[in-house]
Amino acid sequence: MKTYLVTGAAGFIGSNYLKYILNIHDDIKVVVLDALTYAGNLGTIADDIDNERCIFVRGDIGDAELVGRLFATYRFDYVVNFAAESHVDRSIENPQLFLQTNILGTQNLLEVARRAWTKGKDETGYPTWQRGVRFHQVSTDEVYGSLGVEGYFTEDTPLQPHSPYSASKTSADLVVMAYRDTYKMPVSVTRCSNNYGPYHFPEKLIPLIIKNILAGKQLPVYGNGSNVRDWLYVEDHCKAIDLVVTKGRDGEIYNVGGHNERTNLQIVKLTIATIHRLMEEHLLYRNMLKKQVKNADGSISIDWINDDLITFVKDRLGHDQRYAIDPSKIKAELGWYPETTFEVGIVKTIEWNLNNQKWVEEVTSGDYQKYYDRMYGNR
């Protein structure tokens, strides 16, 4: 049986990963460590935690005493580190928090793991490690910076981050690699492109657009909407991480992405068109619209769900133009491939949002409105 420490599992990708591994592995025990920042929601994983297989601990990955106690109690085999400040726009507002959590928090986890997992020294002075342990860092394609119209990020692309967020994630990757090279720590890193799917916090493009369409609000597109992202359904990312943690080679970096490049404007238009189509096909969904416009015959109108909702707003500072992943390595070594096409994934995501509006309301009930007004004014 393997025992996992999964950090940040009350957030978007971490919660999907937690559900995924609990579902596909019978013989595991998981301890979730999450600080429950604005991005973490206990309700998301309420059905998964506090039983024999999975327990929840609220706390900071930077808290050495707490993490040390957890290691002593549970004797982890794997650490999978999702915990992070993850939103680029927020990193532009408050860079220091990103450095604190993403770099120092990761280093704290590494250090506690190193002390717990090393047994002695070999004849050359390197530590000897407990067998079968692994520290996995969940990283991002943003560490590579920005592409022009052509080309892909490979694992050998030079690191050239631009935002405070991506600089902090890059620094964390370098610290992970320093532990690999200095102490021969068994580590792995995945660098994934933009995820979308269930439990995505509506400060990010796709869930924000869905939420605004359902409410009949304007859809803010930064700059001219030509920036390109490479979108991957979150479960495909979870599957990739699981493969790397359990079967990947020690010390390796794996890029994860599904060759699904779209401009932001394409994403927004496709989301509008898909919601319109779903409303046409399922009359019941129309009742779930927050903005209710009636036709002359009393039926609910959806004519207003169209591209006129789009509004171009001030561009993000230092906005990366294009991300695109070359996932050849993980395909060749671990047989990973994306199973969910964007056309299927976006319908699943919209339907999940329609059926889980209580979750959306819950996670946006706190500080969110203040954040939204600060970012977007009164749109």
Size of the site for ligand DAU (CB under 6 A): 19
**Assigned token pair, 253:** 């970096």
- Angle in degrees, CA 321, 325, 327, rounded to 5: 180
Which letter does DSSP use for residue 118 in this model?
Answer: E
Please identify which residue in 107, 108, 163, 195 interacts with ligand NAD, judged by CB under 6 A: 195
Asked whether position 191 contacts ligand DAU by CB under 6 A, the answer is: no
Please identify which residue in 49, 205, 350, 354 interacts with ligand DAU, judged by CB under 6 A: 205
Site mask for ligand DAU (CB under 6 A), range 132-161, x = bound: --------xxx-------------------
Which residue pairs from 246-252 have beta carbons closer than 8 angstroms and sit at least 24 positions apart in sequence? 247/334, 248/188, 248/333, 248/334, 249/188, 249/333, 250/134, 250/180, 250/186, 250/187, 250/188, 251/180, 251/186, 251/187, 251/188, 252/188, 252/189
Asked whether position 248 contacts ligand NAD by CB under 6 A, the answer is: no
Site mask for ligand DAU (CB under 6 A), range 9-48, x = bound: ----------------------------------------
Instruction: Give the nearest distance from C-beta 264 to ligand NAD in angstroms.
Output: 14
Query: How many Cα atoms within 13 Å fall on the side-chain side of residue 77?
Result: 12
Give which of ligand DAU, ligand NAD, none residue 221 binds (C-beta under 5 to 8 Å, depending on kind): ligand DAU
**Assigned token pair, 31:** 């301890």
Positive or negative torsion for Cα 352, 354, 360, 362 = negative
* Dist. CA 56–CA 148, nearest whole Å: 43
Asked whether position 101 contacts ligand DAU by CB under 6 A, the answer is: no
In the complex, residue closest to ligand DAU by CB: 140
Asked whether position 88 contacts ligand DAU by CB under 6 A, the answer is: yes
* Dist. CA 26–CA 47, nearest whole Å: 17
142 as an active site residue: the answer is yes
351 as an active site residue: the answer is no
| C-alpha closest to that of 65 among 56, 55, 57 | 57
| C-alpha closest to that of 336 among 262, 261, 267, 259 | 259
Asked whether position 82 contacts ligand NAD by CB under 6 A, the answer is: yes
Site mask for ligand NAD (CB under 6 A), range 3-42, x = bound: ----xx-xxxxx------------------xxxxx-xx--
Query: How many Cα atoms within 13 Å fall on the side-chain side of residue 328?
Result: 6
Size of the site for ligand NAD (CB under 6 A): 31
Asked whether position 211 contacts ligand DAU by CB under 6 A, the answer is: no
Annotated active-site residue in 85, 141, 230, 320:
141
Closest CB to ligand NAD among residues 136, 302: 136
Asked whether position 190 contacts ligand DAU by CB under 6 A, the answer is: no
* Dist. CA 184–CA 125, nearest whole Å: 11
In the complex, residue closest to ligand NAD by CB: 11
141 as an active site residue: the answer is yes
Closest CB to ligand NAD among residues 241, 354: 241
Sheet strands side by side (includes 2-7) = 54-58, 28-34, 2-7, 78-81, 134-140, 187-192, 252-256
Annotated active-site residue in 142, 173, 235, 236:
142
* Dist. CA 204–CA 307, nearest whole Å: 19
Asked whether position 61 contacts ligand NAD by CB under 6 A, the answer is: yes
Instruction: Give the nearest distance from C-beta 345 to ligand DAU in angstroms.
Output: 15
Which letter does DSSP use for residue 52 in this model?
Answer: S
Q: Give the footprint of ligand NAD on this chain (CB under 6 A).
A: 7-8, 10-14, 33-37, 39-40, 60-62, 82-86, 101, 105, 138, 140, 169, 192, 194-195, 201
Q: Give the footprint of ligand DAU on this chain (CB under 6 A).
A: 86-88, 140-142, 193-194, 204-205, 208, 220-222, 227, 229, 264, 316, 323
Return the active site residues: 141-142, 165
